[in-house]
Amino acid sequence: MKPKMILKISVDVGMTIALLFLMTYELVGQAAHEWLGIGMFILFVAHHILNRKWSRNLLKGYYTPLRIWQTLLVVLVLLCMAGSMVSGVILSRHVLSFLPISSGRSLARSLHMISAYWGFVLMSLHLGLHWSMMMAMARKAFPNASSVRTWALRILAVGIAAYGVYAFIERDIAGYMFLRIQFVFFDFEEPLIFFLLDYVAAMGLFVFAGHYFAELLKCCSRKRKSV
């Protein structure tokens, strides 16, 4: 594997881990949350620098349904990241507390919640777009994998997605996305690992959905070409 590809994967893995821990907010502490946010922003910038070739080709070529979906997701994730960063700067009480910002905290809090939870869902869908590449790399690394192992992993993926539906509802993620709830509730007696596992499952749900929706769009494009 080329060094650039290793760097890309490392940045993407770092972003995924940072995203999960950012959702814990008060469970890891406000200061840690702010440092994680800054780290996420740096990784996000690095991700786009490493993938600048894709950005340069935005106005070139034909837009298939899959490419339209991919571009829409990138734009929406970018908006969520911008919303999270701007509101995070206003709300900062530790890392950026030296900035002379004293107003707009109420609006920033709402913007931060919407951006964070929509960003979580959209980034997970975006990850699902590239899951085929991840599976191809896994097949290349383990070329002699048995059909039993393959089906076991598929069943595991379905199980994670199914539990992800439960976690999504139980954690009321939709309530935060649409501001039906104004403040995020945390149970400080709950072990952090349980919280993270629920959010890993919710992420898995949208990775699963993003992957198969991308496959559906590819199938539609192939049928259109064959007509």
> d(Cα 188, Cα 17) in Å, to the nearest integer?
21
Prediction pTM value? 0.91
Q: Do the Cβ atoms of 224 and 67 come closer than 8 Å?
A: no
Q: Give the whole-angstrom CA distance, residue 201 versus residue 175.
A: 18
Domain coordinates of the chain in residue numbers? 62-226
Distances in Å between the Cα of 135 and the Cα atoms of 120, 121, 128, 132, 140 are: 22, 21, 11, 5, 9
The pLDDT of residue 115 is 97
Dump strand ranges (E) for the chain.
none
Q: How confident is the model at residue 113 (pLDDT cuts 50, 70, 90)?
A: very high
Helix (H, G, I), strand (E, B) or coil at 187: coil
Count of all residues that appear for the chain in the document: 227
Mean pLDDT of all residues belonging to the chain: 91
Could you tell me the two tokens for 127? 């990850």
- Would you say residue 227 has pLDDT above 70? no
Residue indicated by tokens 């107003």: 103
**Percent of the chain beyond pLDDT 70?**
96
pLDDT band at 145 (very low <50, low <70, confident <90, very high): low
> Cα 94 to chain center, whole Å?
25
The reported pLDDT for the residue numbered 14 is 96
